[in-house]
Copies of this chain bind each other. A is one copy, B any other.
Amino acid sequence: MDSDYGIPRELSDLQKIRSLYQPEIPPCLQGTTVRVEFGDATTTADPTDDPTIRRAFPNTYGQPLAHFLRATAKVPDAQIITEHPPIKVGIVFCGRQSPGGHNVIWGGSEGLFAQKCVEINDEILLTYKNQGGYDLLGRTKDQIRTTEQVNAALVSCNNLKLDGLVIIGGVTSNTDAAQLAETFAVAKCPTKVVGVPVTLNGDLKNQFVETNVGFDTICKVNSQLISNVCTDALSAEKYYYFIRLMGRKASHVALECTLQSHPNMVILGEEVAASKLTLFDIATQICNAVQARAEQDKYHGVILLPEGLIESIPEVYALLKEIHGLLKQGVPSDKISSQLSPWASALFEFLPPFIRKQLLLYPESDDSAQLSQIETEKLLAYLVEAEINKRQKEGTYKGKKFNAICHFFGYQARGSLPSKFDCDYAYVLGHICYHILAAGLNGYMATVTNLKNPVNKWKCGAAPITAMMTVKRWSPNPGAVSIGKPAIHPATVDLRGKAYDLLRQNATSFLMDDIYRNPGPLQFDGPGSDAKPITLSVEDQDYMGRIKKLQEYLEQVRTIVKPGCPQEVLKAALSVMGSVTEVLAAMSASSGNNLSSI
């Protein structure tokens, strides 16, 4: 390992105090014993994906959910972990750094009770607890996906005699973790693989995972800056700020920041994709907003754009696909333009040179464009300015000159000290990793649900990573259907969800009334320090808690309707259960269809 990693270092006063912060853990993880209770075998959200995933993961698909509970009364099917075997664990930070990652390790090594076996010792960890970045270990630059990479990992884990390998990352890294787990199982490698949902994008979201470590911090730091810019706009009264936010394909960060800061406008990639808006539709929409504000004598504003927006615009996405196809064929970037299809070429030539250059960048390992390098905010500011000037010449816009200032907020937030929420969440996940490994589980992700409630109500568990996978289908030609590899796909913003609804209800007021709100800088003490993401708080989640509750109901029915119970009771049970199964079967079929059409 590189020598600049893991060195104890000098901290500022605030960093020192933060390093002393002891995150909370829920009651189930307190004390020395933990009860593991297994649920039913898992399936995937869309039943039509089941056979494909089962084929790809014969050893690790369909494993049961695991719940970690207080070791109280004995329950059948429960396993009590009271012994704490020293286990040797490898840890990998994968992909973009996300505040809180270090606390997973802390939580994990606290759980180990055998710290001599890990090369990370107390002294080293001391200055990384509750701190940002991935600089304790550095991070991987690529996925772990090719046969060579997977085999290299297998050899390393065997040589190091690791009992467990913890993969800390987002959708791509956790998909890779599932693949490693399967490969290790086939190869009879004793190393168990565990995934941890840590990504600033907040897009590793599904039935089992409510939010990701780092998302809260990123949104708080960005919201602080967006709010400062809003105050700036209202003070200077002469600029429109176009701010692009990091967050990959999905717009979770942009949505959360909008609900925190109340900027004038946000354009979510999911809205654009759902309404199939073109680049010109979006520019026109912004122009209309600028014009409406000008009519109220307002010449300032703040507009948020997720970095994934550019790929959500249908014609730009098609252009990018063509460019990426040519790049992968080895066409040099200065020859691409001449080999594009006529319509793609027309769009490409229309775009300003700086954007052309950025669109020609080689795609990332997940096949998406290099979103952090494409200045969508500048492109839109440019198009809006052109349109406003045109309207001014035509006499339809009579206001003052339009001035735009562009920003990209991302790198300046990723390394932040993590919020209290992220510190606690990561620390608890780290603890769970230990229990997953102690229970001998392979291919699982550590999960905490009911997160919007206080830590003492959090529910700890583990879900097979394969149960979070879906399969993409697309039609390259009419009649043909291609099936992608099973993977955890980034969850997009749910346009039928409560958080988006909250945005819609307020959009007009945000646009016209400048009701800017400043959540302030991230606080560690006093007011604001316990705030959680708004998008987390408005949703009604706790899937794991409900699955558990359902299990209890079924158990109760079984207990009440035992052989020998009165005929009446049995008849009533049959009648009610009959309609219950009918309703659920019908609902499952339709929701399956819904999902596959997304």
User: Which residues of A pack against B, CB within 8 Å?
Assistant: 2, 4, 9-18, 93, 97, 131-135, 138-139, 141, 221, 224-225, 227-239, 241, 297-298, 354, 405, 407, 409, 411-417, 514-528, 531
Contacts and interface: CB of A to CB of B under 8 A. Distances in A.
B237 A138 contact: yes
A106 B392 CA distance: 42
Contacts of A10: 515, 517
A298 B417 contact: no
B135 A235 contact: yes
13 contacts: A2-B237, A12-B520, A14-B518, A132-B228, A133-B231, A133-B232, A135-B234, A138-B237, A224-B416, A405-B411, A416-B521, A417-B521, A525-B526
Contacts of A298: 4
A414 to B, nearest CB: 5
Interface-centre pick from A18, A522, A527 (highest chain B CB count, 10 A): A527
B415 A228 contact: yes
Given A97-B235, A297-B2, A524-B526, A12 B519 contact: yes
A522 B524 contact: no
Contact of A9 (B14, B354, B515, B524): B515
B415 A229 contact: yes
A414 B228 contact: yes
Contact of A520 (B2, B14, B225): B14
Given A133-B231, A515-B10, A521-B521, A527 B17 contact: yes
Given A132-B228, A236-B97, A411 B241 contact: yes
B518 A417 contact: yes
Given A2-B297, A518-B15, A225 B523 contact: no
Contact of A134 (B11, B235, B518): B235
B230 A415 contact: yes
A520 B221 CA distance: 11
B13 A228 contact: no
Given A132-B231, A232-B412, 18 more contacts: A2-B297, A4-B298, A10-B517, A12-B517, A13-B519, A13-B528, A17-B527, A18-B520, A97-B231, A131-B231, A133-B231, A135-B235, A225-B412, A228-B415, A229-B415, A521-B523, A524-B526, A525-B527
A5 to B, nearest CB: 9
Contacts of A227: 415
Contacts of A241: 411
Contacts of A224: 416, 521
A519 B131 CA distance: 12
Contacts of A93: 235
Contacts of A237: 2, 138
A32 to B, nearest CB: 33
A146 to B, nearest CB: 20
Contacts of A514: 4
Contact of A407 (B229, B411, B519): B411
Describe A's contact surface by its main secondary structure: loop
A414 B297 contact: no
A520 B15 contact: yes
Given A298-B4, A523-B525, A235 B415 contact: yes
A13 B527 contact: yes
Nearest to A97: B235
A221 B231 contact: no
Contact of A519 (B14, B230, B522): B14
Given A135-B235, A514-B4, A412 B407 contact: yes
Contacts of A17: 526-528
Given A228-B412, A232-B411, A236-B139, A417 B12 contact: no
A247 to B, nearest CB: 16
Contacts of A524: 520, 523, 526
Contacts of A297: 2
A199 to B, nearest CB: 14
Given A230-B415, A526-B17, A517 B11 contact: yes
A9 B518 CA distance: 11
Contact of A138 (B229, B235, B518): B235
Contacts of A414: 228, 231-232, 235
B517 A234 contact: no
A273 to B, nearest CB: 28
A14 B522 CA distance: 10
Given A132-B228, A231-B132, A525 B522 contact: no
A501 B538 CA distance: 53
Contacts of A523: 14, 521, 523-525
Contacts of A13: 519, 527-528, 531
A324 to B, nearest CB: 21
A16 B526 CA distance: 12
A100 to B, nearest CB: 13
A224 B415 CA distance: 10
Contact of A412 (B229, B354, B515): B229
Contacts of A225: 225, 412
A411 B417 CA distance: 22
